[in-house]
A and B are shown apart, each in its own frame.
Chain A
């Protein structure tokens, strides 16, 4: 961790996230969009509370109709805390309701082949780390979780890597997100409010902020 990050985190100690330990829940499928994770009708609320009861609601109902069971409906995954997904997870709408629903359900970290940019950023902002692994590693994690729902996983964000049954799986995460989790500064508002003079200075030199009325400018 850089000394600068260390300095700005005096009040963020309780938000530091270094290690996540628990069991895994596998959800297969590429390009799983946020409409699938949180159908729009559940956005009709002024709160995030309660969203956890509707995670993947329509996908789960469709599977039940076909006599199947979505992992989020299976009792053996009910206490899982690490979600394993495939490519481009969370694409589509910018609704933070999706990572909120997953986190409130009990998910503490997500490992996938790749994530949509907005979903990734929304997850960082609420303290939910999304980490990427190689395709083969993701497949191995999915199979392991499918075979043994009780298989333990430990994610260490300092490396970052996951350990499952003695096997070490290397993970990746953009440096800024890793720093933010380790330092407990993933809730960026406090950082952004520091040094507001600098913000005023930028606003003052942008000609549109004054409606292009400053004749000395550009």
Chain B
């Protein structure tokens, strides 16, 4: 029987079996940012260790950076201290850093692929759970905590257990107004927020094969929201063509050799899976979350569930979520008024996301009561969008056009919800307090649905706007 991409990558990176029974796994690419690394670098200093593979380690700043006033020192002294710490650490340990003054800066999961650092067949680790994004390229990529950041810095390795692999075959043509974001929300809705624990998700099927790299990144990005630490798509010509010409991608003869190795890492046709499931893309409609975890979503034409109608194990969480959101069981999701519209985050802040949202708002104005924010994923995305005039379209529609960063996805910078505000958000998490206000509320949806909600001032079916 053949092997899956996960097994091939795992085997190729296995250093040895540790006495505890775990695998010592070599990490091909380590991405570092300001929030989860300072304590790790401090421990390296304390223990007298260096960074073993500084050439396979890259840092940027994204979580805490202001998107409006970006001059140093930052008004927020804690943010300034974190920035200064990362600069010092990268200098002392020889790690390249792309900071705000560098035009390569951006959300770590946007710039890795953009620069061609993210490649098929690699193991990729970063102190951020959305590292699964890089799996779109056929890498085995996963989030780690700060102690593991220390492990990778010091040894370029991690102690891990292999995962099982669930293949999710998505088939059929996505209806108009239904996007990659809806596909992954549908997957999480179906298998639950812990359905993927212990699994790597392999996204396959003709729908995924037809998707662009940006769409594949959106899907892999939210694997962790379904409990799967790793999500990936087998690399193919779409992947290779996307990488060609990028700064860190191989060129010339090296690229020819790379393509052949990358292709060899894809799952074999006769590979065995621990689980194999199918999703009908043609049957999907735009999805919107109504609760406080990403599995709590409904189609935009549906009504919120009654807790009694849910499986036993989801009931208590649903009752709690309805109370937090201030929603009634059985109410339609369409028509829910919104206060804020946020287009951004490592899930949906790439050029294609901005283009689609801009197409909808062009020549229109967002509702007067709505605060609209567009935050490009990277400075490169921002430049490309400006070149096409997207910034002007958004500004003329009433949106604020900001600098690159994580922004209101998690509210670690000045971009936060206030009080009980409701935000239509293209981000990945609707946890209580996630967007910076402990009582703030998040409705996750595709960037196009966010644009439509911004125009209407309430949740609407994007298919009625186009």
Contact = CB atoms under 8 A, between A and B. Distances in A.
Q: Do A and B bind each other?
A: yes
B432 A92 contact: no
B313 A202 contact: no
Interface string B176-220: 000000000000000001100110000000000000000000000
B119 A208 contact: yes
Contacts of B276: none
B148 to A, nearest CB: 6
A209 B22 contact: no
B85 interface: yes
Interface stretch (A15-23, A72-80, A118-126, A143-151): A118-126
Contact of B194 (A91, A99, A179): A91
A193 B155 contact: yes
A58 B154 contact: no
B431 A176 contact: no
B144 interface: yes
Contacts of A114: 194, 197
A9 B445 CA distance: 50
Interface in B273-293: 293
Interface in B149-168: 150-151, 154-161
Nearest to B410: A40
A3 to B, nearest CB: 9
Contacts of B412: 40-41, 43-44
A191 B26 contact: no
Nearest to B324: A62
Nearest to B262: A208
A207 B257 contact: yes
Nearest to A213: B254
B147 A192 contact: no
A96 B317 contact: no
Interface centre among B147, B158, B255 (most CB of A within 10 A): B147
Interface stretch (B8-16, B331-339, B392-400): B8-16
B173 interface: no
Nearest to A88: B194
A10 interface: no
Interface stretch (B34-42, B107-115, B232-240, B451-459): B34-42
A163 interface: no
B128 interface: yes
Contacts of A5: 19-20
Contacts of A176: 18, 20-22, 159, 161
Contact of A206 (B13, B24, B42, B78): B13
Given A91-B194, A189-B151, A198-B15, A40 B39 contact: no
A35 B254 contact: no
A115 to B, nearest CB: 8
A45 B56 CA distance: 26
30 contacts: A2-B19, A31-B293, A35-B433, A39-B433, A41-B412, A44-B64, A46-B38, A48-B146, A87-B194, A88-B193, A88-B197, A93-B128, A93-B129, A97-B146, A99-B145, A117-B197, A118-B145, A122-B147, A176-B18, A189-B47, A189-B155, A202-B13, A206-B28, A208-B122, A209-B28, A211-B254, A212-B250, A212-B257, A215-B257, A218-B260
Which 6 pairs of residues, A with B, have the shortest CB-CB distance?
A96-B145, A122-B145, A125-B147, A94-B143, A46-B38, A58-B438
Interface of A: 2, 4-5, 7-8, 29-31, 33, 35-36, 39-41, 43-48, 57-59, 61-62, 87-88, 91-97, 99-100, 114, 116-118, 121-122, 125-126, 174-177, 179-180, 183, 185, 187-189, 191-193, 195-196, 198-199, 202-203, 205-209, 211-213, 215, 217-218
Given A208-B28, A218-B260, 16 more contacts: A31-B193, A92-B431, A93-B410, A94-B36, A94-B128, A94-B131, A96-B36, A96-B147, A99-B145, A114-B197, A125-B148, A179-B20, A199-B26, A211-B250, A212-B254, A218-B261
